[in-house]
Amino acid sequence: MMHRPTSKPHGNRKDIQNLKRLFPYIWDFKGRVSLALACLILSKIAIVGMPLVLKDIVDGLDSKQLLDDATLALPLLLLLAYGALRLMSSLFNEMRDAIFSRVRYHAMRGISRRVLKHLYSLSLSYHLDRKTGGVTRDLERGTNSLSSILNYLVFNIFPTVAEFIFVAIILLGSYEPHFATITFVTVAFYIAFTLLVTNWRMHYRHEMNAHESKASSYAVDGMLNYETVKYFTNEEYELKQYDDTMAKWEGAAVKSQTSMSLLNFGQGAVIAIGVTLMMIYAAQGVVDGVMTLGDLVLVNTMMLQLFIPLGFLGIIYRALKYSLADMDMMLKLLDTEQEVKDSGDTKELTVSDAVIRFNAVSFHYNKERKILDQISFEIPHGHKVAVVGPSGAGKSTLARLLFRFYDVNAGSITIDGQNISNVTQDSLRRNIGIVPQDTVLFNYTIEHNIRYAKLEATEKEIQQAAKHANIHDFIMSLPEQYQTVVGERGLKLSGGEKQRIAIARVILKNPRILVFDEATSSLDSHSEQLILESLKGVAEKHTTLVIAHRLSTIIDADNIIVLDKGKIVEHGTHLQLLEKEALYAHLWQLQQEEEKELVVQ
């Protein structure tokens, strides 16, 4: 399918190298490729054979002895042969399409899977920097571009080249050289004219599409903000923006259509001149007795037949340029380097006591802003350690480093004495479970979202996990129960319900290490209490790291670490820290006053 681009395809591409990179995906079915090419050649032989048979038909009908039955039988057989060749052309064309479809779709599947796998392997920083829509659009367009390129090559370019070669062989082998010369020169002029004019007129198309996209964005934005437009009675302003842009689109569209008419006329003129010259020489050959009427029909038919696929050259050329650009964007995704990768000698993480140590860990996203500075602490077996501090202190970064979404810039993080940089990322993450601040669910059933932690889990195990998370009764009260679809990103559920599903998911995973990343910061008091009860049960006998915003949720922690500006400024139990009357005590006092104000309201 040809898509309509909104911008000019970028330069600085390596199209030949890109096509070479795609060759292995196509060559997986080399037998089918060879068979499809054989069908292509047979189809073109049949197409080129039709004018040859037509020549004999015309010569046969031109006979003066039409009453002779033997003479009458000759055109009849040739007419049957002509029909058979037309049928063969159609048959081999369809066979080529059917045989090559497996190659095309297998290549699309292979390259899209590889790109998606590579995207999953890229670090979190890449996905935070890139817009998800942009990545998926590059992937979708790149996959479609592969299909388009294969279509253009196998169904348009290769057949046209094959037909041109066969026509050249016939003209050079059977007729005077000037017939072949006229054909070659006409085709060369036709291609050169088409490519030059197409390149010249493409900027009108770019301008057209850009204005159309802009106008569409005005219309959509206005509709999304319908109430605001009405509040300020700015309907005319919105209409003017839209209409002014569409006026520019109209101008570009007229120029695009006019230039298309010029292209079509120029192509028709080149064909007319070439065919006229061919007919003049052929007619003179008939007059001179060196050619028959059938020869005249043959050269005329062959030339016109050759220009039928060339008629789409401008469209194919333009679409091919965009397809190559889209494919280049997709392959650039594949070329993106992994920031966090397993080295060749990484081992599986083995967890016994699940003791976590942060040893002088320093980290920054960019050198101008240090997030963590010489952070050192330990979470002993079965202990609960909480990390608190003002916004931007680096609390959530600790969880991301533990998951190895990023590698530390200095220091190390160990689990049971094993540096997490020396173990496989898969084995590390299998042993850690997390309840994030913002739980994002798949747009599937509740059962699917819980089972996601353990794909082979039974229905009984899923329900047991939901019961431990205090969410089972709520699920059973729903009309579809566990088969309830939660909506995109879980929007059909409240924040507390989503968090409890996240807890059920962690319970089902049953990891040795638990991380709660501000899991109750955005909830109301009632939901928070339900979540806290669930968390308390889950955290027993697990090594637990809690990233906390509400200090009331971590007063039972074995150790509380207070971060400020990337450094540990205090640590101790809740009571010990209150006695110090430092930053923790100040934060506690502020939160207590906020809660009193809420109660008064």
- Domains of the chain, residue spans: 15-162+323-339, 176-290, 341-431+511-601, 439-509
pLDDT per position as a tens digit, 187-196? 888 888 888 8
Q: How far apart are CA 125 and CA 123, in angstroms?
A: 5
The hierarchical CATH code for the domain 15-162+323-339 is 1.20.1560.10
Q: How far apart are CA 599 and CA 253, in angstroms?
A: 64
Q: How confident is the model over 507-516, as a mean pLDDT?
A: 85
The answer to whether 324 and 373 have CB atoms below 8 angstroms apart is no
Q: Which element (helix H / strand E) includes 377?
A: strand 369-379
Considering the chain, what percentage of its residues have pLDDT values greater than 90?
1
* CATH 3.10.105.10 given to domain 341-431+511-601: no
Q: Is 433 helix (H, G, I), strand (E, B) or coil?
A: strand
Q: Is the pLDDT of residue 11 over 60?
A: no
Task: Please tell me the predicted confidence (pLDDT) of residue 539.
Answer: 67
pLDDT per position as a tens digit, 68-100? 445 445 567 878 888 888 898 889 888 888 888
pLDDT per position as a tens digit, 452-471? 888 888 888 888 888 888 88
* CATH 3.40.50.300 given to domain 439-509: yes
Rounded to 5 degrees, φ, ψ at 479 are -55, -40
pTM of the model: 0.64
Q: Which element (helix H / strand E) includes 439?
A: none
- What is the maximum alpha-carbon separation in the chain? 125
Q: How far apart are CA 396 and CA 434, in angstroms?
A: 12
The answer to whether domain 341-431+511-601 and domain 439-509 are alike in fold is yes
- Comparing 243 with 124, which gets the higher pLDDT? 243
Task: Please tell me the predicted confidence (pLDDT) of residue 10.
Answer: 53
pLDDT per position as a tens digit, 320-335? 777 777 777 777 777 7
Task: Please tell me the predicted confidence (pLDDT) of residue 107.
Answer: 80
Task: Quote the tokens at residue 133.
Answer: 């829509």
The answer to whether 54 and 100 have CB atoms below 8 angstroms apart is no
> How many beta carbons lie within 10 A of that of residue 113, not counting itself?
11
Task: Please tell me the predicted confidence (pLDDT) of residue 65.
Answer: 43
- Comparing 258 with 27, which gets the higher pLDDT? 258
CB-based contacts of 540, cutoff 8 Å, min separation 6? none
**Amino acid making up residue 518:** E
Rg (CA), the chain: 36
The closest alpha carbon to 138, from 306, 328, 301, 281, belongs to: 328
Q: Is the pLDDT of residue 522 over 60?
A: no
Of 216-230, 562-576, 586-600, the range with the lowest mean pLDDT is 586-600
pLDDT per position as a tens digit, 257-269? 898 888 888 888 8
Task: Please tell me the predicted confidence (pLDDT) of residue 538.
Answer: 66
Q: How far apart are CA 511 and CA 326, in angstroms?
A: 42
